Amino acid sequence: MCFYFSLPISLSQSVFELITEPHPERSTLSQALYRAGMGRVGTDHAVFNKILVMRSPAHLNKVFDYYKTISNIDILESIKLEMSGDTAAAFTAIVEVVQNPVHYFADQLFKSMKGLGTNDNKLIRLMVWRSEIDLVEIKEEFKIISNGETLESFIEGDCSGNYKVALLALC
């Protein structure tokens, strides 16, 4: 099956064990990631897919830490060196969400409104999705990313009418 279709299918079907303590399997998984990427010519996307979608964020963070000790390179840098295009973007997004979800979503909100025009679909999806989860923390991180401007001020400047009122109510 083409990788383009296998990652979304894997993500939709992923069920992972919640592991919060150090897990002996982390070294095995880190080595598997290394062998699938930096340790060979070409990249075995299936290995990255299997590991990144089937492990809990806490477990993956431990795997990423161990990966750095065996490869002397961060997992994100490894992905950037080994992959390109949509594949790299998909795996980078997974790793960024695992490592720091608040920063990732604040950055996505910022990107949805920076420059000319607004990516309304992305803005609405993120605001509604994160509003009852971690939007308070995201707003704090947004202020750092946007050099002191608040999420509310970005919404005020980019949106209008009832659309703006609804988004501000979510804040």
Distances, alpha carbon 80 to alpha carbons 52, 87, 98, 170, in Å:
16, 10, 17, 35
pLDDT tens readout for residues 125-136: 999 999 999 999
* C-alpha distances out from residue 28 to 15, 63, 70, 99, 150, Å: 20, 9, 11, 20, 43
Q: Is 59 within 8 Å of 22 (Cβ atoms)?
A: no
Question: 91-94: long-range contacts (C-beta < 8 A, 24 or more apart)?
Answer: 91/48, 91/52, 94/52, 94/53
Q: Please state, in angstroms and rounded to a whole number, the distance separating the CA atoms of residues 72 and 74.
A: 7
| Banded pLDDT at 27 (limits 50, 70, 90) | confident
Q: What tens digit of pLDDT does each residue of 134-163 get?
A: 999 999 999 999 999 999 999 999 999 999
Q: Tell me what the mean pLDDT of segment 82-97 comes to.
A: 94
1 pLDDT band, cuts 50/70/90, is: very low
pTM for the predicted model, two decimal places: 0.82
Assign 55 a pLDDT band (cuts: 50, 70, 90). Answer: confident
Higher-confidence residue of 96 and 13: namely: 96
Closest CA to 106 of 136, 81, 64: 136
